[in-house]
Amino acid sequence: MGTYRDAISLSSSPLLTETEFDLLEAAVSLIDDKNLYLTDGYDGFMSFGFRPGSEVKQPYRMYLPEKLPSEFTLVASFKPFSAKNSYLFAVLNPFETVVQLGIRISDGPSTNQNISLIFTNSDMSTVSDEVAKFTVPRLVKRWSKIVIRVTPNEVILYLNCHEMARQKVTRIPLELVFDTASTLYIAQAGPHIQEKYDVSIDAFSFSSDEFFNFSSLDAVLLREDCELIFDVPSRLHP
């Protein structure tokens, strides 16, 4: 089991470039939160655990670019302990009423669940906009690795290194500019929307690097590169 010293000695993954951002860094300075803990992650490395009462919120600009590019990728490795509708992460407008960018996990048909990408221009809308929703097998109590690849007209979901589906989307604007007072939340969507997650997360990043452009890769290369990008950053183990 990890210690507070392990957590505060975290450093960026060797894979991270100036176009990649490690969202789990937002939890490092808050490890004393009684509802935030270190636990065993995928492959035995340490991960962050978030109970529903955890409060991981930080100014978004510390962990994300000021403007989202027209193409970007979100990567996460996580293990939920509840099937409740929850946000894996959310960037909220200054009033904390609209999710500008986020990943939401919700009930799906039958025993399945949905993974949704939320992308909203809060200057034009007062309601969070679900631009893509994918139905996947139940995620609870198992490690899942997801990659959400966003292009100007399409959103693609990879689950455990296999392409699940792709959806045509219209995003206005293509390059979203966050408000300077926007807030990043991990494992919830703030005091008004809430939807807090009971979850362990051992990898979580945002990238605009073309390394994640899977469209030209065959199935074998996709699996190899997919496994590579889920390597646990050195901030989670010595």
Q: Compute CA distances 31 → 51, 108, 130, whole Å.
A: 12, 33, 31
- Confirm whether 6 is domain-assigned: no
Count of domains for the chain: 1
Q: Compute CA distances 150 → 52, 92, 170, 198, whole Å.
A: 29, 19, 11, 26
- Confirm whether 9 is domain-assigned: no
Q: Where are the beta strands (DSSP E) in the chain?
A: 20-22, 36-40, 46-50, 56-59, 72-80, 86-92, 99-107, 113-119, 130-136, 144-151, 154-159, 162-168, 183-186, 199-207
Distance CA 2, CA 38 (A): 6
Distance CA 66, CA 176 (A): 9
Residue 139's pLDDT is 97
- Confirm whether 73 is domain-assigned: yes
- Confirm whether 1 is domain-assigned: no
**Contact criterion met (CB below 8 Å) for 22 and 13:** yes
What would the pLDDT profile of 5-56 be if each residue is shown by its tens digit? 333 333 233 344 457 889 999 998 888 899 999 999 887 888 999 999 999 9
Largest pairwise CA distance in the chain: 46
- Confirm whether 77 is domain-assigned: yes
- Confirm whether 149 is domain-assigned: yes
172: confidence class by pLDDT, cuts 50, 70, 90: confident
| Residues in contact with 111: Cβ distance below 8 Å, sequence separation at least 6, in sequence order | 138
**Helix ranges (DSSP H) in the chain:** 4-8, 25-28, 190-193, 219-229
Distance CA 236, CA 238 (A): 7
Confidence (pTM): 0.86
* Closest by Cα among 178, 197, 205 to 24: 205
- Confirm whether 14 is domain-assigned: no
Tokens of 140: 């609870």
Higher local confidence (pLDDT), 68 or 218: 68
CATH of the domain at 206: 2.60.120.200
Residue-range definition of the domain harbouring residue 106:
19-212+220-229
- Confirm whether 165 is domain-assigned: yes
